[in-house]
């Protein structure tokens, strides 16, 4: 039932309002609010899923459009001063790819307001292959906002430059998240992937709402409580490009995970590179778009009206057929007919 409701909520509110059954509309509106509402952030879907025009925009709870790259604070303490759980610094994470899914979704760093879209290579949508025995991505995969791996900076530890993206996060909790969801995580460690000659850090983190969150505070805790999970992570990153005809990926530190303190220092450095990025006076062609709605000192700050214009220029996908929902009283199961 949950998976069907989730599918249903991906369609626009405009479509549901056209349904003849007021009772069904009310039911799904309630389900949509429950599933799509996040901590202070909402998503707005544009275009068609599994198509090149599909975009997931983020906005605040009061309807103001934002950039998930630039407007969401890196530290949870920036939003709720002084809050720390489990004696750890908390970070916001933007979920790009839900666990077990295959579509390679990512923050569009070179588009206005940086919506989440599916990556395209050689004109084709990208999907990761299933790496036996795994199905799709084996964690909730995403990024830390307000971070940037500077391609002009050579990391002293890896001797490779950054990959020009926000720093990646593998959230290892038990809950399957949703694309565009903003969750609060605590960092446990980090893995240094070397992807085609570039440093591509992979932060290992846990959702603070996960039942195991209070018990997981380090890489060693992961080994004890989730045995095999770290080894599977290394194996996945090593092999996930092999089905595309590419060689196995390499790692710094012989594929060993660095601890939480090391990870937080890496995050701090990428945050400083991001600060320099958004304060640049000019933006070159084909460079990262720094348009934002909240950074007062940034030359790329836009008004709410300008942000709305960006989103409204992207078409809303309208179904060419009717969706009919039926509820069976005996099984209380929601069907998509």
Q: What is the pLDDT of residues 266-318, one digit of tens each?
A: 999 999 999 999 998 777 656 899 999 999 999 999 999 999 999 999 877 65
CA-to-CA distance for 145 and 157, rounded, in angstroms?
Answer: 23
**Which pLDDT does position 285 carry in this prediction?**
57
CB 298 within 8 A of CB 279: yes
The more confident residue out of 46 and 10 is 46
Q: What is the pLDDT of residues 39-83, one digit of tens each?
A: 589 999 999 999 999 999 999 999 999 999 999 999 997 445 444
Q: Please name the residues in contact with 176: beta carbons below 8 A apart, sequence gap of 6 or more.
A: 98, 99, 100, 140
Give the Cα-Cα-Cα angle 199, 202, 204 (nearest 5 degrees): 155
Q: Residue count of the chain, please give it.
A: 337
Q: Please name the residues in contact with 93: beta carbons below 8 A apart, sequence gap of 6 or more.
A: 142, 143, 144, 169, 171, 182, 183, 184, 185, 205
Give the Cα-Cα-Cα angle 221, 225, 230 (nearest 5 degrees): 70
Q: Is the confidence at residue 17, as pLDDT, over 50?
A: no
Q: Please name the residues in contact with 151: beta carbons below 8 A apart, sequence gap of 6 or more.
A: 161, 162, 163, 164, 198
Q: What is the pLDDT of residues 181-236, one digit of tens each?
A: 999 999 999 999 998 889 999 999 999 999 999 999 999 999 999 999 999 999 99
Q: Is the confidence at residue 328, as pLDDT, over 90?
A: no
How far, CA to CA in Å, does 11 sit from each of 17, 37, 167, 318?
11, 15, 30, 8
Tokens matching residue 81: 């001063």
Classified as helix, coil or strand, 175 is coil
Please, what is the average pLDDT of the chain? Answer: 83
**Which pLDDT does position 219 carry in this prediction?**
97
Q: Please name the residues in contact with 196: beta carbons below 8 A apart, sequence gap of 6 or more.
A: none
Tokens matching residue 317: 């996908």
Q: Is the confidence at residue 323, as pLDDT, over 80?
A: no
E strands in 222-313: 250-251, 258-259
Q: What is the pLDDT of residues 135-145, one digit of tens each?
A: 999 999 999 99
β-bridge mates for residue 143, sequence order: 94, 168
Tokens matching residue 15: 């479509």
- Nearest CA-CA partner of 236 in 96, 138, 323, 89: 138
Tokens matching residue 222: 């992961």
Question: What DSSP string runs through 87-110?
Answer: TB-EEEEEEEE-TT--B-EEE-TT
- Predicted TM-score of the model (pTM): 0.81
The dotted CATH code for 2-336 is 3.90.80.10
Q: Is the confidence at residue 5, as pLDDT, over 80?
A: no
% of the chain beyond a pLDDT of 90: 72
**Which pLDDT does position 80 carry in this prediction?**
52
**Which pLDDT does position 87 carry in this prediction?**
58
Rounded mean pLDDT, 122-137? 94
What φ, ψ does residue 177 adopt, rounded to 5°? -90, -175
């Amino acid at each position: 039932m949950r998976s069907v409701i989730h599918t249903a909520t991906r369609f626009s509110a405009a479509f549901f309002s056209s349904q003849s059954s007021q009772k069904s509309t009310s039911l799904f509106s309630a389900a949509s609010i429950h599933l799509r509402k996040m901590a202070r952030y909402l998503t707005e879907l544009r275009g068609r899923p599994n198509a090149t025009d599909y975009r997931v925009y983020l906005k605040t709870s009061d309807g103001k459009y934002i950039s998930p790259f630039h407007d969401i604070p890196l530290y949870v303490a920036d939003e709720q001063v002084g809050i720390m759980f489990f004696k750890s610094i908390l970070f916001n994470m933007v979920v790009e790819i839900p666990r077990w899914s295959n579509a390679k979704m990512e923050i569009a760093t070179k588009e206005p307001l940086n919506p989440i879209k599916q990556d395209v290579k050689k004109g084709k949508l990208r999907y990761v292959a299933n790496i036996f025995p795994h199905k799709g991505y084996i964690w909730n995969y995403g990024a830390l906002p307000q971070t940037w791996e500077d391609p002009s900076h050579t990391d002293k530890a890896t001797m490779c430059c950054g990959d020009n993206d926000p720093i990646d996060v593998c959230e290892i909790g038990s809950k399957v998240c949703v694309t565009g969801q903003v969750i609060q995580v605590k960092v446990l460690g980090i893995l240094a992937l070397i992807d085609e000659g570039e440093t591509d850090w992979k932060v290992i983190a846990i959702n603070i709402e996960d039942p195991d969150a209070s018990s997981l505070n380090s890489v060693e805790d992961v080994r004890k409580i989730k045995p095999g999970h770290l080894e599977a992570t290394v194996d996945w990153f090593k092999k996930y490009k092999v089905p595309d005809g590419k060689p196995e990926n390499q790692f710094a530190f012989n594929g060993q995970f660095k601890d939480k303190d090391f990870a937080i220092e890496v995050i701090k450095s990428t945050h400083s590179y991001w600060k320099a990025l958004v304060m640049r006076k000019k933006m070159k062609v084909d460079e990262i778009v720094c348009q934002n709605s909240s950074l007062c000192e940034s030359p790329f700050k836009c008004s709410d009206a300008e942000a709305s214009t960006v989103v409204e220029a992207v078409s809303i996908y309208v179904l060419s057929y009717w969706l009919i929902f039926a509820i069976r009283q005996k099984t209380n199961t929601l069907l998509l007919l």
